[in-house]
């Protein structure tokens, strides 16, 4: 396999000064989805296309997720999931 050439770039914009990046993915329409938290229990997802911040979704309640993944879904929906099972969890969600 040869070099992988990336043709798009983005500069991620955190939703707050104390925000830290917890997860990042790129959707099928080249949008960047970033999951941010601030250590005080505030969680937000930003959606960006290139350098333009197109949407910020702030979550009011968000349980503990140790290894988060964020993905776009149809109709503007967003999926946030934990990629690992907690000790003692069943395999069914």
For residue range 18-74, what is the model confidence (pLDDT) as tens digits? 999 999 999 988 889 999 998 888 899 999 887 888 899 998 877 777 788 999 998
Closest CA relative to residue 9, chosen from 23, 26, 22, 21? 26
The answer to whether the pTM exceeds 0.85 is: no
Q: Do the domain assignments include residue 50? A: yes
Count structural domains, the chain. 1
Query: How far apart (Å, rounded) are the C-alpha atoms in residues 9 and 2?
Result: 20
Domain of residue 76, residue span: 20-82
- Look up residue 76 and give its two tokens: 């503007």
Q: Do the domain assignments include residue 35? A: yes
């Amino acid at each position: 396999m040869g070099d992988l050439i990336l043709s798009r770039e983005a500069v991620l914009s955190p939703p707050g000064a104390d925000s830290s990046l917890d997860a990042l993915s790129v959707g099928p329409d080249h949008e960047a989805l970033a999951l941010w938290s601030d250590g005080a229990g505030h969680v937000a997802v930003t959606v960006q296309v290139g350098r333009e911040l197109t949407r910020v979704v702030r979550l009011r309640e968000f349980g503990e997720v140790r290894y988060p993944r964020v993905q776009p879904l149809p109709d503007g929906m967003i999926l946030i999931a934990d990629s690992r099972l907690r000790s003692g969890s069943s395999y069914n969600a």
